[in-house]
Amino acid sequence: MRDIHHNIGTELAIAPAAYDADHTGPAIDRIGFNGVALAIMVGVGGVTFNGSNKIEFKLQHSDAADSGFEAVSQADVQGVTVATGGIVRALTAAHAEPSRTRLGYVGPRRYVRLFADFSGTHGTPTPLSALAILGSPNNAPVA
């Protein structure tokens, strides 16, 4: 029996930090893996979120690591409802407790990336991070 440790890879989709402005995560390369899940972690909101002061997490995909990124559609994602522009999570109301959002990418593109889109005024940063978990490897064990 194989353990999960040797059957997954991990990449930071958004490095853990307190953010107060837009942040584009790195391109996550799915080469060698047939699946990817993302976990978005958000700490207590630095501001009271509303329709104007908000953070929207947008998932994008591309066939190239450094260009051509487009918003995902609902057909590309499992576990969440995708809004216009590839929004997979939106903080638009008070966020007094830390939270986690989990989703799966099932689209056809090789690269995915997460974009944290800040709107309004964010005088106090909000702690957040995201992890990409790569699964179903073509070759196991994964080093």
CB 29, CB 65: distance < 8 Å: yes
φ, ψ for residue 5 (rounded to 5)?
Answer: -55, -40
Domains and CATH numbers, the chain: 7-135 (2.60.120)
Among candidates 49, 40, 44, 35, which has minimal Cα distance to 142? 35
- d(CA 20, CA 72) in angstroms, rounded, equals 24
Cβ-contact 69, 62 below 8 angstroms: yes
Helix, strand, coil shares, percent, the chain, to 5: 5, 50, 45
Residue among 45, 50, 54 at smallest CA distance from 87: 54
Is the pTM of the predicted complex or chain greater than 0.85?
A: yes
Write down the residue that tokens 């047939």 correspond to: 34
Question: pLDDT tens per residue, the chain (143 residues)?
Answer: 568 998 999 999 999 999 999 999 999 999 999 999 999 999 999 999 999 999 999 999 999 999 999 999 999 999 999 999 999 999 999 989 999 999 999 999 999 999 999 999 999 999 999 999 999 999 988 88
